[in-house]
């Protein structure tokens, strides 16, 4: 199992970094982010939850919709309402709409991000001896 299964990365123009709400991503400020070698790009990472988390949970219906239950003092369900529709993803930061498109995508897994970071924009070439 991938230990970063719910973690996602987006790449941004460095000029967009002041617009990042650092309460919505795992970095704490622009200086804590990694920038491309030329300083024109950076990335942020965040946790993304796609519902349902557990298809067999008591609060998930047969279509995969997740409900919030309202309980009385005796823990009896007295009401409910849909919290998340099946397939709904929660956790993308507000800056997501400014994500750069790389190879036709805007959002990346850990492995995909590592592959991008090995590219010439992010890694110094190893000198040949």
Decide if 129 is inside a domain.
no
- Confidence band (pLDDT; 50, 70, 90) for 11? very high
Closest Cα to residue 13, out of 72, 88, 99, 95? 99
Tokens standing for residue 66: 């997740």
> DSSP state, 110?
H
Please give the Cα distance from 61 to 58 (Å, whole number).
8
Q: Are 89 and 107 in contact (CB under 8 A)?
A: no
User: Is the N-terminal amide bond of 52 cis, ω within 30° of 0?
Assistant: yes
Q: What is the pLDDT of residue 24?
A: 97
How many domains is the chain built from? 2
User: Considering only 11-25, 29-43, 66-80, which range has the smallest mean pLDDT?
Assistant: 66-80
User: Which residue range is the domain that position 73 belongs to?
Assistant: 55-87
5 with 37, same domain: the answer is yes
Query: Is the model's pLDDT at 1 over the cut of 70?
Result: no
The string of pLDDT tens digits covering residues 104-115 is: 999 999 999 999
Q: Other CB atoms closer than 10 Å to residue 45's CB: what's the count?
A: 18
Both 3 and 26 in one domain: the answer is yes
Looking at per-residue confidence, does 25 or 81 come out higher? Answer: 25
């Amino acid at each position: 199992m991938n230990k970063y299964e719910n973690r996602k990365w987006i790449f941004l123009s460095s000029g967009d970094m002041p617009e990042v709400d650092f309460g919505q991503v795992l970095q704490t400020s622009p200086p804590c982010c990694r920038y491309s070698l030329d300083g024109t790009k950076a990335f942020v990472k965040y946790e993304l939850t796609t519902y349902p988390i557990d298809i067999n949970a008591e609060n998930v219906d047969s279509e995969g919709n997740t409900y919030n239950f309202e309980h009385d003092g005796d823990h009896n369900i007295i009401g409910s309402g849909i919290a998340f529709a099946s397939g709904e993803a929660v956790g993308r930061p507000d800056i997501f709409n400014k994500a750069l498109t790389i190879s036709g995508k805007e959002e990346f897994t850990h492995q995909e991000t590592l592959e991008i970071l090995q590219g010439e924009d992010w890694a110094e070439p190893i000198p040949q001896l």
